[in-house]
Amino acid sequence: YPDGSRGFFAAAQGAPRLQWLHTFNAGIDAPVFGRIMANGTRITTSSGSTAVPIAQTLVTALLMLARGFPEWLQSQRRREWEPRSGPPPPDLASQTLTVVGLGAIGTEIARLGQALGLHVVGVRRTPVTGAEPIDEFITPDALDTVLPRTDWLALAAPLTLATEHMIDDRRLTLLPPTACLLNVGRGSLVDESALIRSLSSGRLAGAYLDVFEEEPLPPDSPLWNFPNVIITPHNSSVSAGNEARTWDYFIQNFEAWIHGQPLRNEVQPG
């Protein structure tokens, strides 16, 4: 966190009478939040306020990879007129998008995927309601069964003990060599060393990465060098409307808190 945020969190930890804290963050995997909650402070998040821009950014990257924009952009920088050679890319309507995590972000990714004609598989622990924009539903323990037919693997899950390095050498090998990985969840959902090995060997067709195990991504990381990898600096959520949406969440929760009603996006201990 920036210096100002560190000072704020230090003050929050030292305020035992603090009853409620609302954060701009969607995720709270940083240990400081657990320490604040240990004082009896209730915490709510802004989860969902950035779902639309994050999903739009991921789908933009998906389309760039699907249509070969990385190659075209390299040709443009070389000032070379280089039409596509080799077999044409497949239609998206013949492909499968597997979305791991069906919270607000994952659900919006799924909705946009269906709009593009993709067959969407949704993955999460809790049952679906039937209203989700997906064509199939599986729980995480069945993920291995769909990876061999997954063309686009989108990660939008939180980081927990169960999800850390859930995408490792074994699961990357289960994907077809034409598949691409798209991660807007948490960097540690993916074993980064395994990902680098898959990209180096050609076992993976490409990737879009907004999050990394170490941030900022070190200048000497091999990930910078792959022409088929699109990197954004944990910025997929940036949008002019985020602040207004976060204030809306806070005001709704403030009114609920005053009247003793349940709070939206309240974090449960443990």
Q: Which of the residues are catalytic?
A: 186, 215, 234
Q: Which residues, in sequence order, are CB contacts of 195 under 8 Å at separation 6+?
A: 167, 172, 181, 204, 207, 223
CB atoms within 10 A of CB 41: 18
| Cα–Cα dist 94/75, whole Å | 28
User: How far from 119 is each of 111, 219, 242, CA to CA, in Å?
Assistant: 11, 37, 30
The residue type of 103 is: G
Q: Which residues, in sequence order, are CB contacts of 187 under 8 Å at separation 6+?
A: 209, 211, 212, 213, 214, 215
Residue whose entry in the numeric block shows the structure tokens 């789908």: 59
Could you tell me the two tokens for 262?
A: 């349940």
| Cα–Cα dist 156/184, whole Å | 6
Number of residues written out for the chain: 270
User: How far from 191 is each of 46, 106, 183, CA to CA, in Å?
Assistant: 27, 20, 12
| Cα–Cα dist 140/157, whole Å | 11
User: How far from 250 is each of 21, 33, 43, 240, CA to CA, in Å?
Assistant: 10, 18, 11, 17
Could you tell me the two tokens for 108?
A: 């919006």
Judged by DSSP in three states, 150 sits in coil
